[in-house]
Structure 1
Amino acid sequence: MAKVVKYAFICNECGMHYSRWHGQCNSCLTWNNITEVHIAAISSTSILHNKNFVGYAGNDSINKVQQLSTINIKKLPRFSSGFKEFDRVLGGGIVPGSTILIGGNPGAGKSTLLLQTLCKLASQMKTLYITGEESLQQIAMRAHRINLDNVNLYMLSETSIEQICLITKQEQSQLIVIDSIQVMYIANIHSSPGSIVQVRESAAYLTRFAKTHGVVIIMIGHITKDGALAGPKILEHCIDCSIMLDGESDSRFRTLRSYKNRFGAVNELGVFMMTEQGLREVNNPSAIFLSHSDNMMAGSLVMVIWEGTRPLLVEIQALVDHSILSNPRRVTVGLEQNRLVILLAVLHRHGSLQMSNQDVFINVVGGVKVTETSADLALLLALVSSFRNHPLPKNIIVFGEVGLSGEIRPVPNGQERIAEAAKHGFIRAIIPYANIPKKKLSTMQIFGVKKLTAALEILDNF
């Protein structure tokens, strides 16, 4: 009868296992993160022959080897969450039997979003909201405050994973929410809730249950001070979809972004607005990120970025000011700082503009984090506009990648970006020459550029 080891040494950062304690993890190279955990001795044969185990499916359902050509590849059935923005982030809707992990800062609205989702779906299927952190009265008060129709929504206050799976099976629930995974525990594991072993095993247990019984499980996860999901990295590996709900404390807007999705595109973005009636989806996100001022301002420019499967118009602001420090500052909000340093070098070499004695501040309006290189050209033109104190027209958009030799490289989905800008009333565009549409647009004047110097010449003519 095989038995697992009772004690193990596990890295809290990456989940690496060791037979004895180490000061430094050989996998992630962090120090003092390896802790000793107590694991109960569980007989593997007893699990296989225990019909009360939730993962037991009987001998008739043993998996068989199949040829790739014989596997059914019909489109996965999905159902809507009730929010178009939530469905977009999930890849088109919720897939039965999937496990979803949603994280975010305290107070971002994770519980509110999922409570609203369950109330929308309660009339179509049997839903269950399981809370381990708040009392049922607190959940009921929140639902009453945002005027939710919660007649068909069932609630449960429980932290035992075995009991949760047993009750879910008895109630025949089709969609359950776990709030949160950090307070759940498995009885056979002698470790406190929230520990790396409990979080890992609880998530794996719930994932097996979801796959076996076709139940959708949405888990709420805490985040660390660095903004990453708390717990071992294997927590993100075993689930199907990982989502983060972000929002500044002084802003009413919330962004929902997927970082892993086995059923759709990653880096998909959904935008919500926090109101007195809970979270409401924003159907036109580009409008909230654009300035509504009619005055022309130096250093302000609108760019078109690509988020998941759709274009998004975002305003970028640059401030270049003389520095009194021996080492001028380079501050970016929403952009990678190393990318700014590279582009400043390109601007000096191929644009003949020296900013080594200038403080440079970059801000992407609305708290959007830009990760793609299509913002390069807009960033450089905004820097030149601020450096020369030369305001740019409000009806112009810019996108394009800038190479180290000063060439303007094309970006994907160029025509979709131009169409999105035209829909919002923009009549001029500076874009890579290779992204010029084949059919001329009567409502937009397009300037295609191959070099950075050509873009700067066009800027001087405005």
Structure 2
Amino acid sequence: MAKPKRRYVCQACGSTSHRWQGQCADCGEWNSLVEEAPATVFSQKHDLSSGGRKVDFVALDVPAEMPVRRATGLAEFDRALGGGLVPGSAILMGGDPGIGKSTLLLQAAAQIARNGGDAVYVSGEEAAGQVRMRAARLGLADAPIRLASVTSVRDILTTLGGMAPPALLVIDSIQTMHSDQIEGAPGTVSQVRGCAFELIRYAKENDVALVLVGHVTKDGSIAGPRVLEHMVDVVMSFEGERSHQYRILRALKNRFGAVDEIGVFAMAGQGLEEVANPSLLFLSGNEEPLAGSAVFPALEGTRPVLVEVQALIVRLQSGATPRRAVVGWDSSRLAMLLAVLEARCGLSFSSCEVYLNVAGGYRLADPAADMAVAAALVSALADKPLPSRSAWFGEISLAGEVRSVAHGGVRLRESLKLGFDRGFGPDGCDSPKALRYEPLKRVSNLVDRVMGSA
């Protein structure tokens, strides 16, 4: 019998190698290759055409009862999920340490338990007494949640098999789970993949909504094999800065709802509180217009959020190299926008330091933010405030054209609802009648409008 070959698996990306090396050839991580037991059962040829059980197919055009979503009691959580928990769904939630993942799920489990559903919370990182202390601080000590502190998947599934399937099963976290059928320490690629597979199979067979908490790496991606994100139905990211009170729950993948839908929470003394109008978090509330400040109606999923873009221009007297500092936006896109303003409009930023900030710690990825950033930069350069109660949006091309963006009418209606009565953006937007909208076709029109504003 041939000796089985050694196999080394990267703990960052899941790629395999037949020899150990310091750096993974696929993802570039250092010291991430760990030896795992070879799967010799796959080295032999097997006939898979017989011996299995017959599969019953279901016709797609036959009427069938659709699964009913279960509300978690947290409207922002339900919004990010697409309307609530789907029975039999598997949800993977990631986020930085201490951002509030366990707090959010404990609050959701308490709401479901109080409303007559059975909720099971399994913690592999904390003892049961520690979870009780946090629940008492959050005012959830009276919630009838089934709580356990265990890391063995065999013990978890054996216990769940002897009771009625719960409505919600929370595993905190999947990196702490282990199976005695798989070699390797908890958190390795094989353990995470195998434990998640068994838990997801139980959830699918028993119509249980399963939530897996996942650790994240230093670059913000979910730790473990990439296949884990393919196995689940929903991938959610809990984002926020510790220096700010807001938290954003973002759906990165959702088989049952819209992608990039968000739920907004604020961290308070009694846990996470829902924010019905998140625009109020990211606006300064200053009625007096200031130079270098522009309001941008961003769009997160189907929800418009108004954020404030701030710019500061500092002219240098000496021949020092000017700085470009950006917080909350793409620095390379800022460089591109500065080049367009210099080439197409004749403005000079080469001898100026440029500082750009998105207020409230918000992070912008919407290309429609080009117009608001350009307006803030020109306003700061000319030291002239923008028109009061105005919103700016639109994508700027390298030719200096203002391109149309999606859902312009939704952005303008949200601006009008919050007291903004003027809008500037691309041509062809469905503007509300109560809002004065001025279309701008080129970035030079924006510069003329800002320079001529009082």
Partner Cα separation in structure 2 for residue 27 and residue 73 of structure 1: 45
Partner Cα separation in structure 1 for residue 372 and residue 65 of structure 2: 43
Partner Cα separation in structure 2 for residue 73 and residue 312 of structure 1: 38
- TM-superposed CA distance for 1:19, in Å, is 3.4
Partner Cα separation in structure 2 for residue 73 and residue 226 of structure 1: 44
Deviates more, 1:307-316 or 1:222-231: 222-231
Across the two proteins, how many residue pairs are aligned to each other? 442
- TM-superposed CA distance for 1:117, in Å, is 0.5
Partner Cα separation in structure 2 for residue 391 and residue 73 of structure 1: 60
Question: Residue 255 of structure 1 contacts residue 269 of structure 1 at CA under 8 Å; is this kept in 2?
Answer: yes
Deviates more, 1:409-418 or 1:329-338: 329-338
Query: After superposition, what is the alpha-carbon deviation per residue over 1:115-173, rounded to whole angstroms, capped at 9, x for unaligned?
Result: 11111001321111111111111111111112115342111111001111121222222
**For the structure 1 residues 210 and 43, does the alpha-carbon distance in structure 2 shift closer, same or farther, using more than 3 Å as the test?**
farther
Percent identity between matched residues is 41
Question: Residue 180 of structure 1 contacts residue 219 of structure 1 at CA under 8 Å; is this kept in 2?
Answer: yes
Query: After superposition, what is the alpha-carbon deviation per residue over 1:300-349, rounded to whole angstroms, capped at 9, x for unaligned?
Result: 11011110111111111111112456432222111111111111111111
Q: 1:257 corresponds to which letter in structure 2?
A: R
Match of 2:7 in 1: 8
Q: 2:279 corresponds to which letter in structure 1?
A: S
Match of 2:124 among 120, 132, 138: 132
Partner Cα separation in structure 1 for residue 71 and residue 213 of structure 2: 19
Query: After superposition, what is the alpha-carbon deviation per residue over 1:414-450, rounded to whole angstroms, capped at 9, x for unaligned?
Result: 111111000001011111112253xx61x32110111
- TM-superposed CA distance for 1:366, in Å, is 1.6
Match of 1:260 among 233, 240, 253: 253
Q: Structure 2 matches for 1:189-200, cutoff 5 A?
A: 189-200=182-193
Question: Residue 394 of structure 2 contacts residue 404 of structure 2 at CA under 8 Å; is this kept in 1?
Answer: yes
Partner Cα separation in structure 2 for residue 39 and residue 120 of structure 1: 45
1:80 to 2:79 alignment: no
Q: Secondary structure at the match of 1:227?
A: coil
Match of 1:167 among 139, 159, 165: 159
Gaps of 5+ in 1: 45-57
Q: Secondary structure at the match of 1:133?
A: coil
**For the structure 1 residues 80 and 284, does the alpha-carbon distance in structure 2 shift closer, same or farther, using more than 3 Å as the test?**
same
- TM-superposed CA distance for 1:73, in Å, is 7.5
Q: 1:200 corresponds to which letter in structure 2?
A: R
Q: 1:223 corresponds to which letter in structure 2?
A: V
**For the structure 1 residues 159 and 30, does the alpha-carbon distance in structure 2 shift closer, same or farther, using more than 3 Å as the test?**
closer
Query: After superposition, what is the alpha-carbon deviation per residue over 1:241-267, rounded to whole angstroms, capped at 9, x for unaligned?
Result: 111212222222111111111211222
- TM-superposed CA distance for 1:66, in Å, is 5.5
Question: Residue 81 of structure 1 contacts residue 120 of structure 1 at CA under 8 Å; is this kept in 2?
Answer: yes
Question: Residue 39 of structure 1 contacts residue 189 of structure 1 at CA under 8 Å; is this kept in 2?
Answer: no
Match of 2:16 in 1: 17
1:347 to 2:341 alignment: yes
- TM-superposed CA distance for 1:284, in Å, is 0.5
Question: Residue 132 of structure 1 contacts residue 180 of structure 1 at CA under 8 Å; is this kept in 2?
Answer: yes
1:106 to 2:100 alignment: no
Question: Residue 77 of structure 1 contacts residue 95 of structure 1 at CA under 8 Å; is this kept in 2?
Answer: yes
Question: Residue 6 of structure 1 contacts residue 40 of structure 1 at CA under 8 Å; is this kept in 2?
Answer: no
Partner Cα separation in structure 1 for residue 351 and residue 315 of structure 2: 6
Q: Secondary structure at the match of 2:380?
A: helix
1:240 to 2:233 alignment: yes
Partner Cα separation in structure 2 for residue 348 and residue 151 of structure 1: 61
- TM-superposed CA distance for 1:65, in Å, is 4.7
Match of 2:112 among 121, 125, 139: 121
Match of 1:185 in 2: 178
Query: After superposition, what is the alpha-carbon deviation per residue over 1:188-246, rounded to whole angstroms, capped at 9, x for unaligned?
Result: 11211112221122112212221122111111111222222121212212111111212
CA RMSD of aligned residues (A): 2.5
Deviates more, 1:400-409 or 1:70-79: 70-79
Question: Residue 105 of structure 1 contacts residue 246 of structure 1 at CA under 8 Å; is this kept in 2?
Answer: yes
Deviates more, 1:264-273 or 1:10-19: 10-19
1:358 to 2:352 alignment: yes
Q: Secondary structure at the match of 2:424?
A: strand
Partner Cα separation in structure 1 for residue 225 and residue 109 of structure 2: 28
Q: Structure 2 matches for 1:177-326, cutoff 5 A?
A: 177-323=170-316, 326=320
Q: Structure 2 matches for 1:141-160, cutoff 5 A?
A: 141-148=133-140, 150-160=142-152
Question: Residue 436 of structure 1 contacts residue 446 of structure 1 at CA under 8 Å; is this kept in 2?
Answer: no
Q: 2:372 corresponds to which letter in structure 1?
A: A
TM-score by length of 2: 0.91
- TM-superposed CA distance for 1:39, in Å, is 5.8
Q: 1:399 corresponds to which letter in structure 2?
A: F
Question: Residue 40 of structure 1 contacts residue 189 of structure 1 at CA under 8 Å; is this kept in 2?
Answer: no
Question: Residue 104 of structure 2 contacts residue 272 of structure 2 at CA under 8 Å; is this kept in 1?
Answer: yes
Q: 2:200 corresponds to which letter in structure 1?
A: T
Question: Residue 436 of structure 1 contacts residue 448 of structure 1 at CA under 8 Å; is this kept in 2?
Answer: no
Query: After superposition, what is the alpha-carbon deviation per residue over 1:77-113, rounded to whole angstroms, capped at 9, x for unaligned?
Result: 2111111111111111111111111122222111111
- Write out the 4+ residue segments of structure 1 that deviate beyond 6 Å after TM superposition: 40-44
1:91 to 2:93 alignment: no
Q: 1:17 corresponds to which letter in structure 2?
A: T
Question: Residue 382 of structure 2 contacts residue 451 of structure 2 at CA under 8 Å; is this kept in 1?
Answer: no
